[in-house]
């Protein structure tokens, strides 16, 4: 049947709705059968595993021999492959199939999809790209979002999509990321590098030299479970040693956090409660006390930094009439004057390592706490000493585990090869920017042509008409679902390549099924920053249903353009793995022994051995003239002339306390919505990944919903008991979640972990009504409620933690959870 006949057929017949019943087919009927039982090695963000296969189905999953601290999430791994949310075959949204780019976009998200063949799906995809490039040029297409696609150097799904789509034509890209957008923008001005993605001082040195460790907005025990590459979990051995030292009174650890973190419980360390979003005020109060008690290291400030003199009048209140005294800070932060004064003493006595988490910069003015913390560390004067100074990543991807120093394997190219030209070879963005801050894409869709400030430049929003997503889940990661719906009404076409029926698929027009990482062969770096070795990721089962690897999907797509060879360079999956491995072996020749590829593949792993201890910024400390920082002056910039020249009202030339647009505990907006909602990273997932893992999810859900953690007094005041269903709401949206009442959360603070799947239902409770603006989320996605604003004119970064809400006991007809059961399948 050609396209026209098919569409005619669709239009002429009445449709039957197949609600997900076919999704419950027995699992072992889905994969190829066999009687083998083999152990194979593979890797993932959750660590490395060994798996067996029985009758063609993954059977046992056990942790890798070298992983001494495997995460509990290992119990969810099988469910990543076998779950009811898998995308089984290519599907197209009903009205898009009928009307293409003239479809009724208000229907987008009503979840009605029609199954099509791979050929049809890929040609519809290409036709759409043709139409966009012809009508609008490259500014009409955004394919630049990235995310936590599965690990693997070959099968990086984002690279595959961007290389192939890039061979078709140019498109809008992003700068920065949701993780550290504000931090990675401010710190190059202050410390000369992003710091967040830099290797940190080695844990053994910290354990040896630190007297005090301040965990500031930081929960490493929770967050080190996952890594950007296959995680080794070696950091946990150091955390175990730290726990011992805390018990022996050898190291004092203070966790500055509104909530009792998993790390605080594990270490048995001190917790210092602080009102959310007020950390800059606390830091200023401490700094003020240091100055008034003459505790700061004047020689270090003089020799290694610039601009303390410009900052001091602000601190002392000579500029704005407000001295940033401990008394002043206490009123804002809820931390007592005595404790603030004591912190100034404690931090300047002995060796103090400040370890910043990232959450604190995912808020409005998120640049400020990072800058001010660097100023505090400068005043303490221990930057560049082992166990002293400041770090911004010890909770992430094995940072602090000494690096092996070996060369890691390369990756499949994301960009076009030298000399390759796109089919539509235009770079005319019609006066708009070709790159926009990562979290501002919804604003761009809503207000094309608008010019904003961003990091010293002007960005003019392109008129985006089509989005392509692969390896990221924007209907998880972006803020303010109802605003997103309004933006998506303006798009002509949305294409998503994913393993599962995420909410992003739900709001797409063309959905293509990728297989999981366990259904293809790959290689990975073992231990991101530690770079412990090279791991074989051996295919466990054939791709389920009609899913394909991203490599195969885009090889077929490239073939439609006559560019298959250009895309693959004429190499198969195994050819690529061999090539990446052999290049790595050559780069390590004479330094690290690596066997030939076949031996490696058979043994599953090559070990590079242990790395050496290292202290961040020690070279700068040794000689700031020979080893300057990457800042304009080469010194730590307490005052930045460059930033001051930008003249931003929300990011002046030195760190400053600024009130937030929404803040609890007496701040703006708290009279109407008194509760601060934090949407921290989940303990039992990687963002939205593993939420689909049904059995594992059921170990933590409450009445099938995502938990919302509540303080007992807040719960009681609203007549809520542990286990009740709760409606959480503000002017932006509403969701259902299940109450978990816990003393770990203070009054006025609730937590719903990000990554809870968006499962909107209409007023009638139907999943088809999920496209309605204001629809209730039936599962509990916190981004139904968060604010979509930029951190400031500097970074324009994600500010999800500037968010107030209210909650109540849910009364009303309880809707079914619509998040996980896949689309409403329409057939003739
Ligand atoms: N409210 C709030 N929002 C946040 C945050 C927060 O703290 N609070 N945190 C932010 C941060 S730091 C981040 S990093 C982002 C995370 O946001 P994302 O990185 O977008 O989140 P993931 O859920 O990991 O999305 C990865 C998607 O890739 C898919 N995928 C996995 N493997 C493959 C593959 O092999 N092929 C293809 N095609 N697809 C694959 C998965 O199924 C999943 O849908 O969220 C941000 N959003
Ligand atoms: N298990 C697991 N680990 C992960 C991830 C995951 O999804 N699951 N994601 C990974 C990724 S992509 C990232 S970006 C990192 C995220 O790393 P982070 O952003 O650092 O992690 P979070 O756990 O969200 O937040 C850490 C702590 O900040 C506190 N906090 C929030 N707001 C404030 C505040 O205003 N003041 C103070 N003092 N504290 C505050 C929270 O209460 C929480 O305890 O984690 C990585 N690790
Ligand atoms: Mo992140």
Distance 550 CA to ligand 1 centre (A): 17
The ligand minimizing its distance to the Cα of 803 is 1
To test the pocket of ligand 2, the residue of 215, 228, 278, 359 to mutate (highest count of ligand atoms within 8 Å of its CB) is 359
Report d(CA 234, CA 250) in Å as an integer. 22
Distance 147 CA to ligand 1 centre (A): 5
Element (H, E) at 514: none
- pLDDT tens, 277-336? 999 999 999 999 999 999 999 999 999 999 999 999 999 999 899 999 999 999 999 999
Closest to 407 (Cα-Cα) out of 592, 665, 255, 167: 592
Name the DSSP letter for residue 406: P
Asked if 353 contacts 394 with a C-beta cutoff of 8 angstroms, the reply is no
DSSP conformation letters of 615-667? -TTHHHHH-TTTS--SSTTSSEESS-HHHHHHTBTTB-SS------SS-STTS
Where in the sequence of the chain do the CATH 2.40.40.20 domains occur? Answer: 675-825
Pocket lining: 470 vs ligand 1, CB cutoff 6 Å? yes
Pocket lining: 359 vs ligand 2, CB cutoff 6 Å? yes
Ligand 2, atom 33, lies closest to the CA of 360
Tell me the CATH number for domain 201-392+623-646: 3.40.228.10
Pocket lining: 362 vs ligand 1, CB cutoff 6 Å? yes
437 strand-pairing partners: 175
The ligand minimizing its distance to the Cα of 502 is 1
Element (H, E) at 391: strand 389-391
The ligand minimizing its distance to the Cα of 360 is 2
Pocket lining: 783 vs ligand 1, CB cutoff 6 Å? yes
Q: pLDDT band at 11, cuts 50/70/90?
A: very low
Asked if 375 contacts 638 with a C-beta cutoff of 8 angstroms, the reply is yes
451 strand-pairing partners: 460
Distance 753 CA to ligand 2 centre (A): 10
Pocket lining: 682 vs ligand 2, CB cutoff 6 Å? yes
To test the pocket of ligand 2, the residue of 272, 658, 680 to mutate (highest count of ligand atoms within 8 Å of its CB) is 680
Ligand 3 ion: residues within 5 Å (CB): 179
Report d(CA 217, CA 355) in Å as an integer. 9
777 strand-pairing partners: 735, 760
Atom index in ligand 1 nearest the CA of residue 147 equals 19
24 pLDDT above the threshold of 80: no
Pocket lining: 514 vs ligand 1, CB cutoff 6 Å? yes
To test the pocket of ligand 1, the residue of 753, 754, 802 to mutate (highest count of ligand atoms within 8 Å of its CB) is 754
Report d(CA 79, CA 559) in Å as an integer. 33
Q: Which long-range contacts (CB under 8 A, 24 or more apart) does 786-790 make?
A: 786/479, 786/480, 786/677, 786/679, 786/732, 787/479, 787/480, 787/661, 787/662, 787/732, 788/439, 788/442, 788/443, 788/478, 788/479, 788/480, 788/483, 788/484, 789/364, 789/661, 790/437, 790/439, 790/440, 790/452
Distance 61 CA to ligand 1 centre (A): 23
Domain 675-825 in CATH 3.40.1500.10? The answer is no
Atom index in ligand 2 nearest the CA of residue 362 equals 19
765 pLDDT above the threshold of 70: yes
How does the average pLDDT of the chain come out, rounded?
Answer: 95
Distance 477 CA to ligand 1 centre (A): 6
Ligand 1, atom 14, lies closest to the CA of 179
To test the pocket of ligand 1, the residue of 181, 476, 820 to mutate (highest count of ligand atoms within 8 Å of its CB) is 476
Q: pLDDT band at 38, cuts 50/70/90?
A: confident
712 pLDDT above the threshold of 60: yes
Pocket lining: 162 vs ligand 1, CB cutoff 6 Å? no
Residues in CB range of 749: below 8 A, 6 or more apart: 258, 259, 276, 664, 675, 676, 678, 711
Name the DSSP letter for residue 808: E
Distance 715 CA to ligand 3 centre (A): 30
Closest to 536 (Cα-Cα) out of 73, 49, 74, 46: 49
- In the chain the first and final C-alpha atoms are separated, in Å, by 14
Question: Phi and psi for 27 in degrees, rounded to 5?
Answer: -60, -45
Cα 818-112-825 angle, rounded to 5 deg: 85
- pLDDT tens, 223-232? 999 999 999 9
pLDDT score at 145:
94
Report d(CA 514, CA 523) in Å as an integer. 18
754 pLDDT above the threshold of 80: yes
- pLDDT tens, 425-475? 999 999 999 999 999 999 999 999 999 999 999 999 999 999 999 999 999
Where in the sequence of the chain do the CATH 3.40.50.740 domains occur? Answer: 91-176+409-527+541-594
Pocket lining: 782 vs ligand 1, CB cutoff 6 Å? yes
Decide the pairing of beta strands 39-44 and 457-460: unpaired
352 pLDDT above the threshold of 50: yes
Cα 186-191-192 angle, rounded to 5 deg: 85
- pLDDT tens, 404-419? 999 999 999 999 999 9
Q: Model pTM? A: 0.95
Report d(CA 436, CA 433) in Å as an integer. 7
Pocket lining: 549 vs ligand 1, CB cutoff 6 Å? no
Pocket lining: 803 vs ligand 1, CB cutoff 6 Å? no
The fold for domain 91-176+409-527+541-594 equals Rossmann fold (3.40.50)
């Amino acid at each position: 049947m050609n396209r026209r006949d098919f569409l005619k057929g669709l239009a002429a017949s009445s449709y039957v709705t197949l609600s997900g019943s076919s999704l419950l087919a027995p699992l072992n009927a889905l994969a190829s059968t066999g009687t083998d039982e083999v152990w194979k090695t593979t890797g993932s963000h959750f660590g490395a595993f060994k798996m067996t296969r029985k009758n063609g189905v993954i059977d046992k999953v056990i942790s890798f021999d070298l992983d001494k601290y495997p995460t509990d999430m290992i119990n969810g791994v099988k469910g990543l492959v076998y779950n009811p949310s898998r995308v089984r075959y290519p599907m197209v949204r009903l009205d898009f199939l009928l009307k293409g780019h003239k479809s009724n976009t208000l229907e987008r998200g009503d979840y009605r999809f029609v199954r099509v063949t791979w050929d049809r799906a890929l040609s519809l995809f290409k036709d759409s790209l043709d139409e966009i490039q012809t009508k609008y040029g490259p500014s009409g297409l955004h394919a630049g979002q990235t995310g936590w696609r599965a690990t693997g150097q070959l099968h990086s799904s984002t690279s595959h999509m961007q290389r192939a789509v890039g061979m078709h034509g140019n498109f809008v890209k992003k700068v920065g990321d949701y993780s550290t957008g504000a931090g990675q923008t401010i710190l190059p001005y202050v410390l000369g590098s992003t710091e967040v993605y830099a290797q940190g001082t080695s844990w053994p040195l910290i354990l040896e030299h630190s007297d005090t460790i301040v965990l500031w907005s930081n929960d490493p025990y929770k967050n080190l479970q996952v890594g950007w590459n296959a995680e080794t979990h070696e950091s946990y051995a150091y955390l175990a040693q730290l726990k011992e030292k805390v018990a022996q009174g050898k190291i004092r650890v203070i966790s500055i956090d509104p909530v009792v973190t998993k790390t605080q419980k594990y270490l048995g360390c001190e917790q210092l409660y602080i009102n959310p979003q007020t950390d800059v005020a606390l830091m200023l109060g401490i700094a003020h006390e240091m100055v008034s008690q003459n505790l700061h290291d004047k020689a270090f400030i003089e020799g290694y930094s610039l601009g303390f003199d410009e900052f001091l009048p602000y601190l002392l209140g000579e500029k704005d009439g407000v001295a940033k005294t401990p008394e002043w800070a206490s009123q804002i932060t809820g931390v007592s004057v005595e404790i603030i004064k004591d912190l100034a003493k404690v931090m300047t006595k002995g060796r103090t390592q400040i370890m910043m988490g990232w959450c604190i910069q995912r808020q409005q003015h998120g640049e400020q706490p990072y800058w001010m913390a660097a100023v505090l560390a400068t005043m303490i004067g221990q930057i560049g000493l082992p166990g002293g100074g400041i770090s911004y990543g010890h909770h992430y991807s094995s940072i602090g585990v000494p690096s092996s120093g070996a060369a890691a394997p390369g990756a499949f190219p994301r960009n076009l090869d030298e000399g390759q030209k796109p089919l539509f070879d235009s770079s005319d963005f019609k006066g708009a920017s070709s790159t926009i801050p990562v979290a501002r894409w919804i604003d761009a869709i809503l207000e094309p042509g608008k010019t904003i400030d961003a990091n010293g430049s002007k960005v003019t929003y392109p008129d985006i008409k089509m989005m392509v997503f692969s390896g990221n889940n924007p209907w998880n990661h972006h803020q303010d679902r109802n605003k997103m719906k309004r933006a998506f009404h303006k798009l002509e076409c949305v294409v998503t390549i994913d393993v599962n029926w995420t909410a992003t698929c739900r709001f797409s027009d063309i959905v293509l099924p990728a297989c999981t990482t366990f259904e293809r062969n790959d290689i990975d770096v073992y231990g991101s920053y530690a770079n412990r070795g090279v791991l074989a990721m051996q295919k466990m089962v054939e791709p389920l249903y009609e899913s394909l690897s991203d490599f195969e999907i885009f090889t077929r797509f490239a073939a439609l353009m006559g560019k298959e060879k250009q895309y693959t360079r004429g190499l198969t999956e195994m050819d690529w793995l061999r090539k990446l491995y052999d290049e790595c072996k050559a780069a390590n020749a004479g330094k690290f022994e690596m066997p030939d590829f076949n031996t490696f593949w058979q043994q599953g792993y090559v070990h590079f051995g242990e790395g050496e201890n290292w202290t961040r910024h020690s070279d700068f400390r040794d000689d700031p003239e020979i080893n300057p920082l990457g800042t304009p002056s080469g010194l730590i910039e307490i005052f930045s002339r460059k930033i001051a020249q930008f003249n931003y009202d929300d990011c002046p030339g030195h760190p400053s306390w600024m009130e937030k647009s929404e803040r609890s505990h007496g701040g703006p907006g708290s009279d109407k919505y008194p509760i601060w909602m934090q949407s921290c990273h989940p303990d039992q997932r990687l963002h939205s990944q593993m939420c689909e893992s049904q059995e594992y999810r059921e170990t933590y859900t409450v009445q099938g919903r995502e938990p919302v953690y509540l303080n007992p007094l807040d719960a009681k005041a609203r007549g809520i008991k542990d286990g009740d269903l709760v409606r959480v709401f503000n002017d932006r949206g509403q969701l259902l979640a299940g109450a978990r009442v816990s003393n770990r959360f203070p009054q006025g603070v609730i937590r719903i972990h990000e990554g809870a799947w968006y499962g909107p239902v209409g007023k009638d409770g139907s999943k088809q009504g999920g496209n309605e603006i204001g629809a209730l989320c039936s599962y509990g996605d916190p981004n139904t409620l968060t604010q979509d604003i930029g951190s400031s004119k500097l970074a324009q970064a994600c500010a999800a933690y500037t968010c107030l809400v209210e909650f109540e006991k849910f009364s009303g007809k309880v809707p079914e959870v619509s998040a996980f059961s896949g689309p409403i399948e329409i057939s003739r």
